[in-house]
Amino acid sequence: MTRSSLVALDLGQHEFRESVDELALLATSAGAEVIGTFVSKKRSPDSATFIGSGKVQEILAHCEAEDVELIIFNHSLSPAQQRNLEKALGRRVIDRTGLILDIFAIRARSFEGKLQVELAQLQYMASRLVRGNAELYGQQGGIGMRGPGETQLETDRRLIGVKVKQLKTRLEKLQKQRQTQRRQRERRGQFTVAIVGYTNAGKSTLFNCIASDKAYAADQLFATLDTTTRRVWLAPKVDMALSDTVGFIRDLSHSLVDAFKATLESAVHADLLLHVVDASSLVRHSQIAEVNKVLQEIEAGDVPQVIIWNKIDACERSVEVERDGNGKILSVAVSARYGLGIAELRECLTELAGNFYAQSRGADTQSDELQWA
């Protein structure tokens, strides 16, 4: 394991402590051994090192005493800040985005998932290519100094640009294949449901319960990166296409959201979202808000949702189906780990699927309008 220390700057953001705890979980998920955590409070980050020269010296002393190999920041660092910190500390420095990308690289299993991770990594790397000194050569003139017409920096950028273009082309082909599959489901008029939620809320465990499948599920952040879709029979002649998706997290950069937009298409085009929430989490409401923010970014904010309060076994909550005054299903409380409430959830899905198929056959009744308004 890589001996690592964490650095977080309190800039007055909401739920700062929870964000730091989350960084520790992310670091552990990436295979880091967290030796220490540095937390300080400032009005604004330092433009050169983000944390200021005094804190840099404090961290350097700690790193030398504890033989720390890696410093992980709970923020997005500019390329210049990262470079300045590595020079001052004499160690590798990564930011929150770089850490999440590393976890993505570990977790990606499907061909498409690996392509998306590689694309995101290359785009992240391209922004951090900087001009060196003696290491780079170029059109400086003189004998032995006539380069091939471009500096090494320009060569690296060009090669990355070519690779990015290739990856985008391959991902576009895979996207077209998914669009074809989706059109086939639409022609069949199939009810489509996507499971979404904050990372480690129990989405894959719930997916396995409903679909009787064996999708990878673990008590760790970003256990699932690849979308899995299964046809699930709810009742005789009543089925649905159920998809498990990548989890969301706070402060997810736009570049990471963009990289996984293709994977999240199942949520954009779903007829219903099962929004899984860890009912035992003290910050569950802010996690709901973070998920909804990302759904808006990928243009899935208007897809109907049912909240699934998961892990009720951890907070002594009972199985419950909540409806509004018109009978519309708002939420279902379950424990996917122990199978509590799964029968009730399947009954709700059967009801919603029945309403969907009735609508698709043109049965535009008042009750249908209430369910799918």
Phi/psi at 326 (nearest 5 deg)?
-95, 5
Average pLDDT of the segment spanning 313-322: 94
Give the bridge partners for 198, in sequence order: 248
Q: Is 200 annotated as a binding residue?
A: yes
Predicted local distance difference test score (pLDDT) of residue 143: 39
Query: How far is 357 from 350, CA to CA, in rounded Å?
Result: 10
Query: Is residue 16 scored above 50 in pLDDT?
Result: yes
Give pLDDT, residue 255. 67
What average pLDDT does the chain have? 83
**More confident site: 203 or 222:** 203
Domains recognised in the chain with CATH numbers: 2-94 (3.40.50.11060), 189-372 (3.40.50.300)
248 marked ligand binding residue? no
Over range 186-196, report the average pLDDT: 83
338 is in an annotated binding site: no
Using H for helix, E for strand and C for coil, what is the string for the chain? Answer: CEEEEEEEEECCCCCHHHHHHHHHHHHHHCCEEEEEEEEEECCCCECCCECCHHHHHHHHHHHHHHCCCEEEECCCCCHHHHHHHHHHHCCEEECHHHHHHHHHHHHCCCHHHHHHHHHHHHHHHHCCCCCCCCCCCCECCCCCCECCCCCHHHHHHHHHHHHHHHHHHHHHHHHHHHHHHHHHHHHHCCEEEEEEEECCCCHHHHHHHHHCCCCCCCCCCCCCCCCEEEEEEEECCEEEEEEECCCECCCCCHHHHHHCCCCCHHHHCCCEEEEEEECCCCCHHHHHHHHHHHHHHCCCCCCCEEEEEECHHHCCCCCEEEECCCCCEEEEECECCCCECHHHHHHHHHHHHHHHHHHHCCCCCHHHHHHHC
Q: Given pLDDT bands bounded at 50, 70 and 90, which one contains residue 123? A: confident
Q: Do residues 23 and 17 lie in contact, with contact meaning Cβ atoms separated by under 8 Å? A: no
Share above pLDDT 90 across residues of the chain, in percent, rounded to a whole number: 45
The dihedral sign for the CA sequence 78, 84, 88, 93: positive
35 annotated as belonging to a binding site for a ligand: no
- Is the pLDDT higher at 181 or at 200? 200
- Asked if residue 318 belongs to a known ligand binding site, the reply is no
Would you say 203 is a known binding-site residue?
Answer: yes
Residue 148 structure tokens: 């091939």
312 is in an annotated binding site: yes
**Percentage of the chain modeled with pLDDT above 70:** 81
302 known ligand binder: no
Binding site annotation covers 237? no
On whether 204 is known to bind a ligand per the annotation, the reply is yes
Q: What's the first-to-final CA gap in the chain, in angstroms?
A: 52
Per-residue pLDDT band at 373 (split at 50, 70, 90): very low
Task: Say whether 130 counts as a known binding-site residue.
Answer: no
Contact at 8 Å (CB) between 225 and 246? Answer: yes
Q: Is 235 annotated as a binding residue?
A: no
Is 223 a known ligand-binding residue? Answer: yes
For the segment 77-119, what is each residue's pLDDT rounded down to a tens digit? 998 999 999 999 999 999 998 888 888 887 777 777 788 888 8
Phi/psi for 254 (5° steps) reads -60, -35
Specify whether the CB–CB gap between 196 and 290 falls below 8 A: no
Annotated ligand binding at 199? The verdict is: yes
The pLDDT-based confidence of 153 (bands split at 50, 70, 90) is: low
pLDDT, one tens digit per residue, over 132-148 is 434 434 444 443 444 45
- In this predicted structure, what is the pLDDT of residue 326? 94
Is 244 assigned a ligand-binding role in the annotation?
A: yes
The predicted model gives 260-277 an average pLDDT of 84
Give the CA count within 13 Å in the CB-facing half-sphere of 3.
10
Is 197 labelled a binding residue? Answer: yes
Answer yes or no: is 245 a known binding residue: yes
What is the rounded average pLDDT of the residues 17-38? 91
Residue 222 marked in a binding site: yes
Is 120 within any annotated ligand binding site? no
- Name the residue with higher pLDDT: 154 or 14: 14
